[in-house]
Amino acid sequence: MKTRIMTLLCAALLTVTTCTMTACLGFGEIIPADTDGKSAADQVAEHQGQNNPDPWAGNGKDPAPADTEKEEPTTQPPAPVTEPVTQPAVKPVDPPKEDPKPAETEAPEPEETEPAETEPAELPGEPVIPGDLPSSVISLPAAGKLTSQQSKNLVLGADYTAAQNTDGTLTVNVGVSLSSYEIFASARENSGMLTVNGENVLFSTPQLTNEERSMHTFPLLTKTFTLPAGTTQISIQVQWQFGGNYGGTYITDLTAGAVLVVG
């Protein structure tokens, strides 16, 4: 009786031991113990061989390849048909024709024309006497002085005397002068004009220099005129070109004149 119990305990213990080894080796199944005398390791190997047969072992043949779907060949659309392009015919270009040589023509001879008559221009530097003059009545014999009004510090003057001769003619003497304070003016040719009853007399001026602050008078011209008998008016005009600044004022010309009426 005791022997039977010990045998059963040993078998149970062997079974538990086998199951424990199987779980530790990573096999997911419990292999029952075999009483035919096989070891536990042999039983495990036999059991794995039954459950997981090697597909590559046993027959020496390669495994059948897996069925794969057959790919149908893709058909590409036919290439479009293009018509051949025809180039337009190019016409040859004729070279330019040379112009014929123009015929030589005789040039007409220029007609002779007479030059147009032109009036001589006034000489540069010739002063222009103003036409409007003040008038005054005189009794012969008479004397006086005419002065310019353009500047008080630069004055052009004309001293005159007029007398009647026994034959009825008149003698008129005119002296032209320039009075100024400080001045330096270079010599000028034909820079002044004196006119008495339409008779013009040009005069030149020498170099004029005055370094003093007092007024100084420079004599410029002395002229005697003889007027016909019966003359009732004596027109005296004098002009001198300055063309510069004096005392902060630009002066072009200095002019003086008057019409003397014989009473």
Q: What is the mean pLDDT of residues 21-39?
A: 49
Cα–Cα dist 198/131, whole Å: 11
Using CA atoms of 7, 8, 9, 12 in order, give the dihedral in degrees to the nearest 10. 120
Residue 15 has phi, psi (to 5 degrees) of: -65, -45
- Residues 38 and 147 occupy one common structural domain: no
Which pTM value belongs to this model? Answer: 0.51
pLDDT at residue 210, rounded to an integer: 93
The parent domain of residue 167 ranges over 135-262
pLDDT at 45 over 80: no
- Residues 255 and 148 occupy one common structural domain: yes
Q: Give the pair of three-digit tokens for residue 120.
A: 């001589």
- Residues 244 and 139 occupy one common structural domain: yes
- Angle among Cα 199, 203, 204 to the nearest 5 degrees reads 165
Indicate the pLDDT class of residue 129, thresholds 50, 70 and 90.
Answer: very low
Q: Give the pair of three-digit tokens for residue 177.
A: 């002068």
Indicate the pLDDT class of residue 133, thresholds 50, 70 and 90.
Answer: confident
% the chain with pLDDT above 90: 46
Is 222 a domain residue? yes
Is 257 a domain residue? yes
Selected residue with higher pLDDT from 198 and 37: 198
pLDDT at residue 124, rounded to an integer: 36
* Overall number of domains in the chain: 2
Is 159 a domain residue? yes
Selected residue with higher pLDDT from 130 and 166: 166
Selected residue with higher pLDDT from 173 and 34: 173
Read off the pLDDT of residues 210-257 as tens digits, 9 standing for 90 and up.
Answer: 998 899 999 999 999 999 999 999 999 999 999 999 988 999 999 999
- Residues 139 and 41 occupy one common structural domain: no
Read off the pLDDT of residues 53-86 as tens digits, 9 standing for 90 and up.
Answer: 554 444 545 545 445 555 555 556 555 555 555 5
Indicate the pLDDT class of residue 12, thresholds 50, 70 and 90.
Answer: low
Residue finishing a domain among 34, 51, 68: 51
Q: What is the CATH number of the domain that holds 166?
A: 2.60.40
Read off the pLDDT of residues 85-123 as tens digits, 9 standing for 90 and up.
Answer: 555 555 555 655 655 555 555 555 545 444 333 333 333
What's the mean pLDDT when you consider all of the chain? 74
Is 149 a domain residue? yes
Residue finishing a domain among 51, 68, 84: 51
Cα–Cα dist 257/174, whole Å: 11
